[in-house]
Structures are given as structure tokens and as C-alpha cells.
Amino acid sequence: MTLNPSNNTQFTWTGRLTAGEVKFATQKSFSSDFFVAATASQSISNSKAQTALSGNPDIKWKLTASDAGTYLITLDMKAVTVTFQKQ
């Protein structure tokens, strides 16, 4: 993800997502903290997130086959949200 130069609490990424599950690590380690969904199997239309210390709880957003596509993802550490905008 890339730091938003005008807002140092936001990171963005654009790319292709397929059906499955997604969460966001804060470092390149499985024992790091993660940004995860607020509820299990949460739809990507719901931007509510939470911080999972050391990856616990392991809750993810769920993407269905119809959700697959290219997205602009914005992770906002201050608002504790992750938004998925289909491109």
C-alpha cells in the first residue's frame, strides 16, 4: 500500500481481487498487527474495521465471485475503516 501524501493516516492500493477473504497486515509478518473486518465474513460494502493485535481475532472481509474485479482500497488508520471502490 502507498501512503497518501496529503493524509498520513491513509494508505491506498489499486489492484485485482478475486473471490475469497482479505485482511491487511501492518508489517511483513504473520505475528504483526492486522486491520481486519469488524465482523466475520463481512461484505466489502461494509468499511468498518478493527485492529487485531498479533493477528487475533482472525476476522476477514469476504469477496464473492460477483465481487471480483479491480479495486481502489483505502485503509484509514484514524477512522479505522477500509473502503473498497470497484474501478
Structural domain boundaries enclosing 61: 2-86
Question: Which CA distances in Å does 58 have to 5, 28, 30, 65?
Answer: 30, 16, 11, 22
In total, how many domains does the chain have?
1
Q: What is the pLDDT of residues 43-60, one digit of tens each?
A: 999 999 999 999 899 999
**Could you tell me the sign of the dihedral formed by the alpha carbons of 35, 74, 65, 48, in that order?**
positive
Q: What is the pLDDT of residues 21-38, one digit of tens each?
A: 999 999 888 889 999 999
Cβ atoms within 10 Å, residue 73: 19
Q: What is the pLDDT of residues 7-23, one digit of tens each?
A: 999 999 999 999 999 99
Average pLDDT over residues 2-7: 95
